[in-house]
Amino acid sequence: MSGSGKLFRIVSGINGWSLVVVGGLSLLISLISSAWAGVAISLAAAFHGFAELVLRKRVLRGDSGAARWMALNQIGLAASLSVYFTYQFVTLDGEALSASMKSPPLSDLLMLYSEPTRSQLLDTLPLLVGAFYGIVAGVSWVVCGGTAILYWNQR
C-alpha cells in the first residue's frame, strides 16, 4: 500500500469512528439537557461519521468513486458545523452571558481587572463569542477541506 493509501486508511478510520462516537455521546447529553440544536448537530456528526465508514469500506474494496463521495461528505460536515455555529451565534443571549460572567468563579477572575476593563470586557463579550464561533467555523472548513482534498485524490 502506498504512503497516501496508508494515510487515507488512518485518517478515514479515525475521522469516521470519532464522529460516530462523539456524535453519539453528544446526542445523549443533548437529549438529557433538552438542547435541540445539540441534538441536530449530534445527529449530523453521527451521520457524517457513519457515511465516512461506509464509504471508506467501499474505497478499501477498490471503488475509487466512493472517495469522491467521502470528499463531499467532508464538505457537508463543514457546512453542518457552520450552520450550527451560526445558529448558536444568532441565538446568543447577551444578557445571560453577562450574568454568567458575574457569578463565581468567573466573577472572581474578572475582579483581577480594573472596573473600566471589566465593563469593556462585558460589553464586548457577545462579539468575542461570535468571533470565537467564526474562528471555529473557519478552522472546520480548513480541516474538512484538507481532508476532502486527501479523499478526492485517493485512487
pLDDT tens per residue across span 74-104 = 999 999 999 999 999 999 988 888 888 888 9
Q: State the Cα–Cα distance between residues 77 and 61, nearest whole angstrom.
A: 24
Domain ranges of the chain: 3-152
The residue among 135, 117, 132, 126 whose CA lies nearest residue 97 is: 126
The residue among 83, 70, 93 whose CA lies nearest residue 40 is: 83
What percent of the chain has pLDDT above 70?
98
Q: How far is CA 13 from the centre of its chain?
A: 18
Cell 455521546 belongs to residue: 25
Record the pTM: 0.88
What percent of the chain has pLDDT above 90?
82
Q: Where is 109: in which H helix or E strand?
A: helix 106-110
Tell me, what amino acid is at 27?
Answer: L
User: Residues 101-117: what's their mean pLDDT?
Assistant: 91
From residue 1, alpha-carbon distances to 9, 13, 56 in Å are 10, 16, 15
- The contacts of residue 42 (CB under 8 Å, 6+ apart) are 23, 24, 26, 27, 30
pLDDT at residue 3, rounded to an integer: 62
User: Which DSSP category does 88 fall into?
Assistant: H
The string of pLDDT tens digits covering residues 20-59 is: 999 999 999 999 999 999 999 999 999 999 999 999 999 9
Copy the grid coordinates of residue 130: 461570535
